[in-house]
Homo-oligomer: A and B are copies of this chain.
Amino acid sequence: MIVVTNDDGFEAPGFAAAIEVACEFGRVVAVAPATPQSGRSQAITIYDPLFLRERHREEGLEIYSLSGTPVDCIKFVFDHLLADQKVDLVVSGINHGSNSAINVLYSGTMGAAIEGSFYGCPSVGLSLLDHSRDADFTDAKCYGRQIIASILKSQEQPRPLCLNVNVPVVPNIKGIRVCRQCRGIWREDFFPHVDPNGRNYYWLTGNYTNYEPEAEDTDEWALSNGYVAVVPVQIDLTSYSDLAYLNKVLK
């Protein structure tokens, strides 16, 4: 059984694309947010109730929407809908837009993929570097299918395993590169506007700065050079290199 979710909502073409790929590998239960949840990171819903709606059912495929975040969807499917059933893989995506480099921290797609890996099965976040609603998912489906097949057939698979897969938009993809997360940050511009009642408001928008554009082992380099970037993800945020320093400073 494959669980599918995304962060663009249950009506997103990328969700349909992920379901299409997942169905090639077995029974699929797909639960996506009822509304777009891009940039929701690992957020969970504490103060609001969660409403579930069945959207589609056929042999081997169920699709639901949940009025929460991508992580809520994963928690709900594992701890309620499919409680005690064996899940072989989680697929999150296919995201409309990149989740490479530091975007992994802000991404609802990757939040859900990371959460999926907590339930003892491998988890794959798939993203295409095209934000548009009419994006062409052909390459993303092709490489997603290949990566999922490789993970499922591997006999020595470390569990949990979580992959951040980004697919570039180029005429001819050169192949897959296993990478590390590129260092870099966003700096934001807040566009000011005034509403009809005279209140100031702002829209968040920004630009990414790559701190290491020359490094050839990063996901950003792979994507800029026409490769699919695959970064294995872990969730221990401890900065081990700071432990000794802190022990000295805080004494």
> Do the beta carbons of B234 and A238 come within 8 Å of each other?
yes
Q: Which A47-81 residues have C-beta < 8 A from chain B?
A: 47, 49-52, 68, 71-72, 75-76, 79-80
- Which of B39, B76, B193, B243 contacts A232, CB < 8 Å? B243
Chain B residues whose C-beta falls within 8 Å of the C-beta of A239 in the assembled complex? 162, 232-234
Copies of this chain in the oligomer? 2
Does A230 make an interface contact (CB < 8 A)? yes
CA distance A239 to B243 in the complex (A): 19
Does A154 make an interface contact (CB < 8 A)? yes
> Do the beta carbons of B50 and A247 come within 8 Å of each other?
no
Does A237 make an interface contact (CB < 8 A)? yes
- Which of B79, B162, B187, B202 contacts A49, CB < 8 Å? B202
> Do the beta carbons of A203 and B50 come within 8 Å of each other?
yes
Chain B residues whose C-beta falls within 8 Å of the C-beta of A43 in the assembled complex? 39-41, 43, 106, 108
Q: Chain A, interface size: which category?
A: 35 or more
Q: Which A186-204 residues have C-beta < 8 A from chain B?
A: 186-190, 193, 195, 199-204
> Do the beta carbons of A246 and B178 come within 8 Å of each other?
yes
Chain B residues whose C-beta falls within 8 Å of the C-beta of A163 in the assembled complex? 246
Contact string against B for A residues 208-247, beta-carbon threshold 8 Å, 1 for contact and 0 otherwise: 0000000000000000000000111111111111110111
Does A185 make an interface contact (CB < 8 A)? yes
Chain B residues whose C-beta falls within 8 Å of the C-beta of A200 in the assembled complex? 51-52
- Beyond A80-B190, A201-B50, A249-B151, whether A106 also contacts B242 by CB under 8 A is no
Chain B residues whose C-beta falls within 8 Å of the C-beta of A249 in the assembled complex? 150-151, 154, 157
Does A19 make an interface contact (CB < 8 A)? no
Q: Which of the listed residues A52, A187, A206, A238 has the most CB atoms from chain B within 10 Å of its own CB?
A: A238
Min CB–CB distance A241 → chain B (angstroms)? 8
CA distance A50 to B79 in the complex (A): 34
Chain B residues whose C-beta falls within 8 Å of the C-beta of A242 in the assembled complex? 158, 161, 232, 234
Min CB–CB distance A122 → chain B (angstroms)? 10
Which residue of B has the minimal Cβ distance to A107?
A: B42
CA distance A194 to B150 in the complex (A): 43
Chain B residues whose C-beta falls within 8 Å of the C-beta of A190 in the assembled complex? 50, 75-76, 79-80
